[in-house]
C-alpha cells in the first residue's frame, strides 16, 4: 500500500555500480538535504504560510495518509518501507481509487516485500492496476498525492513512526517528486506473475549462489568460490534468473528473499 505507514550511500570501491544502487544513493542525499531543511524551518513556517505542518503520533500520521489518498484525483506516488504508522488497512481504499481511474505508482523497499502480508497485499493491488517496482534500499518512506501534497517522516522509533511533515504545493514538494522519480526510473518492475508464482525449493548449491548474488559477487567471484569456471558460473546464474521468472540479477535476489530462499 502506498502510504506513509506501509509502509545511503555505500563506501566507494572499484566494482562497477548497479544503476539502482547509484540512484538510491542520490535519492538518499536529496532526502537528507530535504529533511534537514524541513527540520530547520518547520516551526517558523507552519504558522506563517501553511506550507508545512508537522503531524505527531503514529495514529495521526496514518489518518493523514488515509485522508490524502481519499482525496486523490489523478496520481498517487508511494515509497513503502518499515517502520509503520498506526492506521486502518488502506488496500480497500486503494481498490476504490484504482477503480475511479487514479494511477498508483508504488516503490517497495526490499525489506517491506520480505513481510508475507505485504507481499500478498501487493499482489492483490497489482491485479487491480497498481504499478509496483522494488529497490534494494529506499532512503525514506514517502507519500505524494496529485503533485499537491506530500507526507514525509521526520522521526521514528524502532517499530513505528513518531512524527511526519505534511507538505503542500511548494519547491520542497517539487524536490521530493524528483527524488521519487529518480528512484522509480531504474527500479526493478514487480510483475504479478513473478510476485505470485512460487518455484520449487532450491538446492543448497542454488541457495549459495543466490547468497553470493545478494552480496554483489561477480560471476568470476562466484566461480572461484563454488569451484566453477567463469563460464559455468555465468550459465548457472542465468538459469537461476530464468527459473525465478525475472530479468536481472538484482531482481533474482529480491525474488529469492520474497520466497524465503535467503
Architecture of the CATH domain 50-189: 2-Layer Sandwich (3.30)
Instruction: List, in order, residues 6 or more apart from 170 with CB less than 8 Å away.
Output: 51
Q: What is the DSSP letter of 85?
A: -
Residue 189 C-beta-side C-alpha neighbours within 13 Å: 9
What percentage of the chain reaches a pLDDT higher than 90?
29
Confidence grade of residue 178 (pLDDT, cut at 50, 70, 90): very high
Cα-based distances in Å from 47 to 1, 44, 103, 211:
31, 6, 33, 51
Q: Apex CA 121: angle with CA 119 and CA 125, to 5°?
A: 115
For the chain, the residue count is 262
Q: Tens digits of per-residue pLDDT, 183-234?
A: 998 887 776 544 444 556 777 788 888 888 877 788 888 888 888 888 888 8
Query: Over the chain, what is the mean pLDDT?
Result: 77
Instruction: List, in order, residues 6 or more apart from 225 with CB less than 8 Å away.
Output: 212, 217
| Residue labelled with grid coordinates 507526507 | 151
Tell me the domain boundaries of the chain: 50-189, 204-259
Q: What is the DSSP letter of 162?
A: E
Whether the CB-CB separation of 147 and 178 falls below 8 Å is answered with: no
In three-state secondary structure terms, 201 is coil
| Residue labelled with grid coordinates 495514529 | 59
CA distance 105 to 78: 6
Q: In this structure, what are the phi and psi dihedrals at residue 32, rounded to the nearest 5 degrees?
A: -60, -45
Terminal alpha carbon distance of the chain? 24
Architecture of the CATH domain 204-259: Orthogonal Bundle (1.10)
Q: Tens digits of per-residue pLDDT, 60-100?
A: 998 999 999 999 999 999 999 877 665 556 788 999 999 99
Q: Which of 63-72, 96-105, 172-181, 245-254 has the lowest mean pLDDT?
A: 245-254
Confidence grade of residue 56 (pLDDT, cut at 50, 70, 90): very high
Select the more confidently predicted residue: 240 or 104. 104
CA distance 167 to 149: 6
**Would you state the pLDDT for residue 258?**
74
Q: Do domains 50-189 and 204-259 have the same CATH topology?
A: no
Amino acid at each position: 500500500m502506498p502510504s506513509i505507514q506501509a509502509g545511503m550511500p555505500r563506501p566507494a570501491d572499484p566494482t562497477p555500480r548497479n544503476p539502482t544502487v547509484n540512484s538510491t544513493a542520490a535519492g538518499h542525499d536529496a532526502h537528507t538535504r530535504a529533511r534537514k531543511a524541513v527540520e530547520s524551518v518547520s516551526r517558523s513556517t507552519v504558522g506563517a504560510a501553511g506550507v508545512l505542518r508537522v503531524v505527531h503520533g503514529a495514529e495521526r500520521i496514518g489518518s493523514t495518509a488515509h485522508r490524502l489518498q481519499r482525496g486523490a484525483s489523478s496520481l498517487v506516488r508511494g515509497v513503502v518501507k518499515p517502520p509503520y504508522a498506526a492506521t486502518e488497512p488502506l488496500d480497500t481504499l486503494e481498490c476504490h481509487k484504482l477503480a475511479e481511474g487514479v494511477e498508483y505508482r508504488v516503490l517497495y523497499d526490499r525489506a517491506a516485500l520480505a513481510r508475507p502480508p505485504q507481499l500478498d497485499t501487493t499482489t492483490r493491488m497489482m491485479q487491480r492496476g497498481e504499478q509496483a517496482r522494488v529497490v534494494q534500499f529506499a532512503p525514506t518512506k514517502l507519500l505524494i498525492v496529485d503533485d499537491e501534497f506530500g507526507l514525509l517522516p521526520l522521526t521514528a522509533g524502532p517499530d513505528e513512526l513518531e512524527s511526519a511533515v505534511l507538505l503542500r504545493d511548494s519547491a520542497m514538494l517539487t524536490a521530493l517528486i524528483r527524488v521519487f522519480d529518480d528512484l522509480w526510473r531504474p527500479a526493478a518492475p514487480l510483475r504479478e506473475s513473478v510476485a505470485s508464482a512460487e518455484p520449487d525449493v532450491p538446492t543448497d548449491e542454488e541457495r549459495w549462489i543466490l547468497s553470493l548474488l545478494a552480496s554483489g559477487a561477480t560471476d568470476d567471484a562466484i566461480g572461484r568460490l563454488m569451484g566453477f569456471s567463469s563460464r559455468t558460473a555465468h550459465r548457472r546464474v542465468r538459469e537461476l534468473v530464468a527459473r525465478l521468472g525475472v530479468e536481472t540479477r538484482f531482481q533474482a535476489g529480491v525474488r529469492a528473499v520474497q520466497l524465503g530462499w535467503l
